[in-house]
Structure 1
Amino acid sequence: MNPVIKHILNNNIYQIIIMSTSASMTPLSKVMERLAEKGYEDELNIKKEGATIGASTTPIYQASDLTIVRSYRFEGESDPADMSILYAIETADGKKGFLLNAYGTYSDQDAEYYDSFILDVPIDEKAELEELGN
């Protein structure tokens, strides 16, 4: 069983499943593969005007059109640059996708709108996605 922490985001408390790059924990690539099998295969792209899913440029989703349904945090044992967070996301019109980013000082999202956008996405975690990290 992976350790779980409570995380507060936008006044909502939700669980983040902590992963590791050690042999005893599920690696990022495996969790992404399992998410893809469940339909979460297209990447969310956040821009100033909103977000898109996959290669499509439309529709443009606002934060209120999306829901974070599970979060996975990965921690490298020896390299802080291996720290990343993976969000499984669903849209109001039924599409599924993911958002992957480093976190902390290694985050590659410096734009102000990125942080404010992701903080505004509602959270409604699905318990059935927890098993993907085991």
Structure 2
Amino acid sequence: MGNHNLKTLSQVLNTLIKRGITKEICMNDQNQMVLGKDEKIYKPEDLVIVKSYRFEGDSNPDDNAVLYLLQDKEGELATILDSYGAESNYSGEEFDFFLRQVPIKENPEYDIN
């Protein structure tokens, strides 16, 4: 009896936070992917995408976003939010280029129903 209702971004983030996943990876001004408050700087090969959650805006295709759940070599989990369309949070190619190089190993453990 799966619940097939689409979750909102905030619902998924809240579920991940309840599971102890609270850190975010963001691109800094030097186009480096950084965990939290400059705790670690990652290269694509340091990470694996274990889950992708896609969100589509009901009224506006510019509201689309993907939340990636990533795991580093030490087993630490963090998220990267990629909103695209007019409200993209990263304008340069570096962000997309980085994400395309990260291997994907989807893990059903992180499915949110």
Are residues 1:54 and 2:56 paired? no
Asked whether the 8 Å contact 1:72–1:85 carries over to 2, the reply is yes
The answer for unaligned runs of 5 or more in structure 2 is none
Q: TM-score, normalised by structure 1?
A: 0.73
Displacement of 1:88 after TM fit? 0.6
Tell whether 2:52 aligns with 1:71. Answer: yes
Name the residue aligned to 1:38: 19
Distance across 2 between alignment mates of 1:37 and 1:127: 17
Amino acid at match of 1:64: E
Moved more, 63-72 or 32-41: 32-41
Deviations 1:17-46 (A, max 9, x none): xxxxxxx42111110111122232111012
Preserved contact between residue 27 and residue 33 of structure 2 (Cα < 8 Å): yes
CA distance in structure 2 between the aligned counterparts of 1:97 and 1:32, rounded to whole angstroms: 11
Deviation by residue 1:42-99 (Cα, 9 ceiling, x = unmatched) = 11012445322111x1321111001110001101111223211100111111211101
Counterpart of 1:99 in structure 2 is 80
What is the TM-score with the length of structure 2 in the denominator?
0.85
Q: CA deviation at 1:109?
A: 1.3
5+ residue gaps in structure 1? 3-23
Q: 1:110 aligns with which of 76, 80, 91?
A: 91
- Is the aligned partner of 1:121 residue 2:106? no
Aligned residue pairs total: 110
Relative to its length, the structure with more strand (as a share) is 1
CA 1:94–1:106: 2 relative to 1, 3 Å:
same
Query: Within 1, Cα distance between the matches of 2:12 and 2:86?
Result: 23
Superposed CA RMSD in Å reads: 1.8
Write the distance in 1 (CA, Å) between the matches of 2:51 and 2:18.
15
SS in 1 for 2:98: helix
Conserved? CA contact 1:40–1:89, under 8 Å: no
CA–CA distance in structure 2, aligned partners of residues 50 and 121 of structure 1 = 14
- Shifted more, 59-68 versus 108-117: the winner is 108-117
